[in-house]
Amino acid sequence: MRVLEIETRSREELIDITPLISREVQAMGLKDGGLIVFVPHTTAGLTINENADPSVKRDILLALRHMVPDHLPYTHSEGNSPAHVKASLCGSSLYVIVREGKLCLGTWQGITFCEFDGPRRRRLFLSPVISK
């Protein structure tokens, strides 16, 4: 298992971590199997989506802000309730198939780290699943 750190720079941002994850797969020597990527935070998440066009990330944030507005009468007293809800919608883990040492992602797909309560230092856990 590997533990990685990510520094986020904004309150909300979507960061393409595909190159980082690909390097770790190579460093682990994982040839065939899968990789579990887990975020141990309640105000951050993960998603797989298009990474070729940066406007997609802006659209995702726009839609999440529309679905989870800041001004609702949230009862959580820390002031970051929208971040918790957005992170729940994205999810905290992904499973990616690895074949011949490479992530099996579609042509336009990338792994995106979703920050909703930054800027912060965040951790990612990577756990390989080895195929027999």
Task: Please name the residues in contact with 60: beta carbons below 8 A apart, sequence gap of 6 or more.
Answer: 14, 47, 49
In tens digits, the chain (132 residues) has pLDDT values of 999 999 999 999 999 999 999 999 999 999 999 999 999 999 999 999 999 999 999 999 999 999 999 999 999 989 999 999 999 999 999 999 999 999 999 999 999 999 999 999 999 999 999 987
Residues 6+ apart with CB under 8 A from 78: none
CATH architecture of the domain with range 2-130? Sandwich (2.60)
Determine the pLDDT at residue 77. Answer: 85
Dihedrals phi, psi of 95, to nearest 5 degrees:
-120, 125
Q: Give the per-residue pLDDT at 66.
A: 98
> Which pair of structure tokens corresponds to residue 34?
């899968």
